[in-house]
Structure 1
Amino acid sequence: MASKISDYHLFYKMSNSHPLRPFTAVGEIDHVHILSEHIGALLIGEEYGDVTFVVEKKRFPAHRVILAARCQYFRALLYGGMRESQPEAEIPLQDTTAEAFTMLLKYIYTGRATLTDEKEEVLLDFLSLAHKYGFPELEDSTSEYLCTILNIQNVCMTFDVASLYSLPKLTCMCCMFMDRNAQEVLSSEGFLSLSKTALLNIVLRDSFAAPEKDIFLALLNWCKHNSKENHAEIMQAVRLPLMSLTELLNVVRPSGLLSPDAILDAIKVRSESRDMDLNYRGMLIPEENIATMKYGAQVVKGELKSALLDGDTQNYDLDHGFSRHPIDDDCRSGIEIKLGQPSIINHIRILLWDRDSRSYSYFIEVSMDELDWIRVIDHSQYLCRSWQKLYFPARVCRLVLMANK
C-alpha cells in the first residue's frame, strides 16, 4: 500500500559563500563596533601603555596617542612639552574619584559608558570630568540621564553642579523639580550643602512656592551649617512682608539674623500695601491647564460648577456641558474659580457660548484673598464669542473671576 503524502518539499540550501551565489555590492563598510572592541581591549589588557594616571592612589596605565586623538586637553598635556610629556610619566589627578575616572577612560577608548546603577556622586564626578576635558556630547548625554533620576536626595547637589557648569537643560529640570517639591527640598540634607550662589538662585525664584516661614527656617539652618558665609546676604532672600506679625515677632526676631529695623520695615510694607502688590510666591506649571480637579481647582461661584472643570470643550448644548452665571448690575456674580494653590499664570483660554448668535462683554480679575482684586483682562467694551485666548503679565493668584458687564 502506498503511503499518502499531503505535501512534499525538496530543497538545497546554499550558503552565502557558495561560488554560484552572486555577490551583493556593498558601498560602505561599518565595523565601528569591532574597532571599539579592539581599542577597548588595550585598556583592559594594559599593553603598550606609555603614561600612567594616579587617582586616589590607584594607577591607570594608558596610551598617549589614543588620549591625544580623543581629547584636546590630553593632547596639550601629553604633547605640549611639559613635564607630563616625558616618556613613562606618572600624572596625579586631583578633584575626582577612581570610579569616575574609570568610566571616563572606558568612554575615551570605546565611546561607551554605562550610567545605570552608578551612585549619583559618581555620576556627578563623571559629568565634571566630561566638562573639564571637553566632551560636550558626553556632557549632554550624562545630563539627560541625570534628569531622569532626580529625587529629593540628589536634586540639590545636581543643581549645584549644573549651575557651576552652565548646563541649561539640567538646571531647568532641577528647578522645576524643586519648585514642585519645595517644602521637601527645604528639609533635605542636600539643601544644607548647597553653595551660596545655588542657594540664592533657588530661593529667589517666584516659583519656589513654600511658606515664607519654612524658607526662613531652612535658610537659618543653612547659615548655621555654613558659618563662614555672609548671612546678611542670605537673609535678604526672605520675603518678610509675606510673614504674619506673629511669625515676625516669635520666629524671625529671636534668630538675631535680621535687625529690628528690617522687621519693622516688613510690618510697615505689609500694613500699607494692597494685598495684590505683595511679592507672592506661586506654583509654576508651564503649558498645563491648572483650572482642573487634577490640580485641586474648584468653582466657588457660578452654576453647573462641575462642567467648567471636566475638560470637555466639544459636547455642550442648552442642557448640559457648560457653566453659567446670572448677569446683574454690580458685576460681582460671575464665575469664580479657586485654584488648588497660589499659582503663576499669564494665559487664560475661555470658550464662550457660541451655539447661537449671542455675544458677550466681560472682564477677568485675579486675587489672593478674595478681597483685593486686580483686573488683568477688560473686554467690557467688546462683543465676544467662542474661543478667547488671553495673555497678560504673569501674576501670582489663588482666585480667578470672570464677570459680564
Structure 2
Amino acid sequence: MYNTDKLHLVEIKNGLVAPKYNVALTSMDAAVTKGTPNWIIYEMENSLDKIKNNILYDNNKNWFFDRGYTYHEVNSGYIEVQLAQPYLLSSMRMLLWDDNNDTYGYTVQVSVNHEDWDLIIDKSNKPCRSWQLLQFEQRLVVYIRITGVHSSHPNNTFNLKYLEAPAQVSLAFIIKKPWKSISWLLNRK
C-alpha cells in the first residue's frame, strides 16, 4: 500500500524498511508461533487468536488485569514471534510477568530465514524482571526467539507479558556501528 501520510514513520535504508512504530502487533500481521498462552481471565476473552497472540496486543492500560501472558518451561522450549516481513530493527522492549517478584534469565535470538539464528541479547546470568529495554546492532529481523534460561517462578516457567519492536520509548544509549551492506546482512552466518 502506498501512503505518503505516514511516510515520516518509516525510514528506508537500501530498500529495506526501518520502522519507527511497533511492528510486533497483530494489527501489523505479527504472530506468536511458539509458546503457551495463559489468559488470566478466560471469561473475558473467547477469541483464540487473541489468547494465542496476547503478548502482541497494544492495550497497555489493562496488562495486569485482563491480559494473559505467554510462557514456556525453562530448559524446554522458547517463545517465538514472526513478523509480517523483514524489518531493519535495532531495539525491542518486553515486559516480563513478575507478579510474585519473579526474576528471569533469558536470551534473545533473531533470524530472517528461520534457519540461521543470531544471538542479540544474553541476559542468562542476570536476575531480570519487569520492563526490559533491548538494544542491539541494526539488522534484518523476521523471527524473534526468546528463551528463558532460569526462573524464580515456582513452576520454573519463563513468563512474557508484552513484546514490541522497535522499542517505543527513548533509548538510554545508542550503539554506533557503521551500516553494513545488504549482502553482508543476507549472507552472514
TM-score normalised by the shorter chain: which range applies? 0.5 to 0.7
Give the aligned residue type for 2:22. Answer: N
- Alignment identity in percent? 30
More strand by share: 2
Picking from 22, 30, 33, the partner of 1:300 is 33
Picking from 341, 348, 353, the partner of 2:92 is 348
- 1:290 Cα offset (Å): 0.6
Give the aligned residue type for 2:85. Answer: Q
TM-score by length of 2: 0.62
Q: Structure 1: state its 5+ residue gaps.
A: 1-148, 152-172, 180-204, 209-281
| Map 1:125-144 → 2, pairs under 5 A | none
Matched, 1:334 2:78: yes
- In the superposition, relative to structure 1, how do residues 312 and 322 fare at CA in structure 2: closer, same or farther (>3 Å)? farther
- 1:316 Cα offset (Å): 4.3
Matched, 1:391 2:135: yes
- In the superposition, relative to structure 1, how do residues 315 and 382 fare at CA in structure 2: closer, same or farther (>3 Å)? same
- 1:318 Cα offset (Å): 8.9
- In the superposition, relative to structure 1, how do residues 371 and 358 fare at CA in structure 2: closer, same or farther (>3 Å)? same
Q: Secondary structure at the match of 1:323?
A: strand
Whether the aligned pair in 1 keeps the contact of 2:81 and 2:143 (CA below 8 Å) is yes
| Map 1:247-326 → 2, pairs under 5 A | 282-286=16-20, 288-304=21-37, 305-316=52-63, 320-326=67-73
Q: Structure 2: state its 5+ residue gaps.
A: 38-51, 150-189
Whether the aligned pair in 2 keeps the contact of 1:336 and 1:400 (CA below 8 Å) is yes
Is the deviation greater in 317-326 or in 365-374?
317-326
- In the superposition, relative to structure 1, how do residues 323 and 374 fare at CA in structure 2: closer, same or farther (>3 Å)? same
Give the aligned residue type for 1:342. Answer: P
- In the superposition, relative to structure 1, how do residues 150 and 370 fare at CA in structure 2: closer, same or farther (>3 Å)? closer
Per-residue Cα deviation, 1:360-380 (whole angstroms, up to 9, x for no partner): 000100001111100110000
- In the superposition, relative to structure 1, how do residues 355 and 369 fare at CA in structure 2: closer, same or farther (>3 Å)? same
- In the superposition, relative to structure 1, how do residues 150 and 298 fare at CA in structure 2: closer, same or farther (>3 Å)? closer
Whether the aligned pair in 2 keeps the contact of 1:283 and 1:341 (CA below 8 Å) is no
- In the superposition, relative to structure 1, how do residues 382 and 318 fare at CA in structure 2: closer, same or farther (>3 Å)? farther
Inter-partner Cα distance in structure 2 for 1:347 and 1:317: 24
- In the superposition, relative to structure 1, how do residues 340 and 383 fare at CA in structure 2: closer, same or farther (>3 Å)? same
Name which structure has the greater RCO, CA cutoff 8 Å, separation 6+: 2
- 1:312 Cα offset (Å): 2.8
- 1:320 Cα offset (Å): 4.4
Inter-partner Cα distance in structure 2 for 1:327 and 1:394: 28
- In the superposition, relative to structure 1, how do residues 325 and 313 fare at CA in structure 2: closer, same or farther (>3 Å)? farther
Inter-partner Cα distance in structure 2 for 1:309 and 1:150: 26
Cα-Cα RMSD: 2.7
Give the aligned residue type for 1:341. Answer: Q
| Map 1:2-401 → 2, pairs under 5 A | 179=12, 205-206=13-14, 208=15, 282-286=16-20, 288-304=21-37, 305-316=52-63, 320-328=67-75, 333-401=77-145
Bigger Rg over Cα: 1
TM-score by length of 1: 0.30
Inter-partner Cα distance in structure 1 for 2:137 and 2:32: 24
Whether the aligned pair in 2 keeps the contact of 1:337 and 1:401 (CA below 8 Å) is yes
- In the superposition, relative to structure 1, how do residues 354 and 368 fare at CA in structure 2: closer, same or farther (>3 Å)? same
